[in-house]
Amino acid sequence: MSIVLAIFLGLVILVLAVVAVHHKNLKVAIIATGVVGLFASVLFLLLAAPDVAMTEASIGSGLSTIIFFYVLNKIRQSND
């Protein structure tokens, strides 16, 4: 069961990573990056690495997303 879930999560991560690279709207791309981090942390948990999963959940999907949004906002301001 958990191997099926792991493969499913891996596929979702791949799809979201492609979305993050190719989507026209940068907001959607940033959200996709954050969700990649979130699913990756679940995957790490399934692979019996709870320490890495915690780091990935808080930094990969929490902090880096908000930092990307700050930078995006800043770039928009200076382009106006």
Partner 1 sequence: MIKKGLILLILVGFVTIISSLLINFKGNEELNPLARHYAEHGAAEVGAANLVTAVVVTYRGFDTLGEVTILFLAAAIVGFFLKVNNRDNEREASLRKTSEILITASTLLVPTIFMLGVYIFMNGHLTPGGGFQGGAVIATGMVLMIMAKPNVKFNHKLLAFLESVSGVGFVIIGVLGVLLAAGFLDNRILPLGNFGTLISAGAIPIIYVLIGLKVGSELTNILDSLKETQNEK
Instruction: Give contact residues for partner 1 (rule: CB under 8 A).
Output: 50-51, 54-55, 58-59, 62-63, 66-67, 70-71, 73-74, 77
Please count the residues of the chain: 80
CB 35 within 8 A of CB 65: no
Q: Six-digit token pair at 28?
A: 């959607």
CB nearer to partner 1: give 7 or 75. 75
Nearer to partner 1, 12 or 49 (CB): 49
**Token pair for residue 50?**
């709870």
Smallest gap from Cβ 13 to partner 1, in A, equals 20
Are 53 and 9 within 8 A, CB to CB? no
**Closest distance to partner 1 from the beta carbon of 78 (Å):** 9
Helices and strands counted in the chain (H then E): 4, 0
Question: Of the two residues 24 and 79, which places its CB atom closer to partner 1 in the complex?
Answer: 79
CB of 47 to partner 1, least distance (A): 13
